[in-house]
C-alpha cells in the first residue's frame, strides 16, 4: 500500500503563493493517480487536482483552475501542489490521496496539511 505524508502548509496572505508537498512511499507507482483534496471548516471534501504518475497528465477542480498547478518529481517520489493568487476561500486542510487509475476509490490518504489564507 502507498504511504503518504503531506508538508508545507502555512499561514499566508491573500494573493500570496505557496507550495505544498506529498511524499509517497511503499511500492511502485506505475498505474497510480495522485490527487489533492481539501476540506474547509464546515464544508465537505473538495477535489482540487490530480496527476497520473506515469504520464504526468493533470486534472483540476473548477475553483482552482488557472491558479493551482500539480506536478510530480519521479526521482524523489513527491507530488507538489503549487498554489498562486491564494484566496481566503482556499483556507482548508489539504489532503493527498492515491489510487490505481482503473479504480474508483482511493486506497491511501495522508494526514493533511493546514493552509490558512488571511485577508
Tell me how crowded residue 70 is: count the other CB atoms within 10 A of its CB.
21
Name beta bridge partners: 118.
13
Q: Give the pLDDT confidence of 32-59 residue by residue, as tens digits.
A: 999 999 999 889 999 999 999 999 999 9
Lowest mean pLDDT among 18-22, 28-32, 65-69, 109-113: 28-32
- What φ, ψ does residue 39 adopt, rounded to 5°? -135, 115
SS3 78: strand
The strand order across the sheet containing 78-83 reads 3-7, 18-25, 78-83, 68-73
User: In this prediction, what percent of the chain has a pLDDT beyond 90?
Assistant: 92
pLDDT at 79 over 90: yes
Mean pLDDT to the nearest integer, 95-115: 96
What is the average pLDDT value for the chain, to the nearest integer? 96
- How far is the C-alpha of 114 from the C-alpha of 112, rounded, in Å? 7
Q: How far is CA 86 from CA 54, 58, 72, 106, in A?
A: 29, 20, 21, 27
- How far is the C-alpha of 44 from the C-alpha of 46, rounded, in Å? 6
Name beta bridge partners: 71.
80
Amino acid at each position: 500500500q502507498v504511504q503518504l505524508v503531506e508538508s508545507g502548509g502555512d499561514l499566508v496572505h491573500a494573493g500570496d503563493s505557496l507550495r505544498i508537498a506529498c511524499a509517497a512511499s511503499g511500492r511502485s507507482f506505475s498505474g497510480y493517480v495522485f490527487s489533492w483534496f481539501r476540506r474547509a471548516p464546515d464544508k465537505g471534501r473538495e477535489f482540487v487536482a490530480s496527476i497520473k504518475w506515469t504520464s504526468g497528465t493533470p486534472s483540476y477542480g473548477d475553483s482552482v483552475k488557472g491558479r493551482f498547478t500539480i506536478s510530480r518529481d519521479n526521482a524523489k517520489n513527491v507530488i507538489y501542489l503549487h498554489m498562486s493568487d491564494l484566496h481566503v476561500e482556499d483556507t482548508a486542510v489539504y489532503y493527498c490521496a492515491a489510487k490505481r487509475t482503473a479504480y474508483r476509490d482511493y486506497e491511501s490518504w495522508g494526514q493533511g496539511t493546514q493552509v490558512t489564507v488571511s485577508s
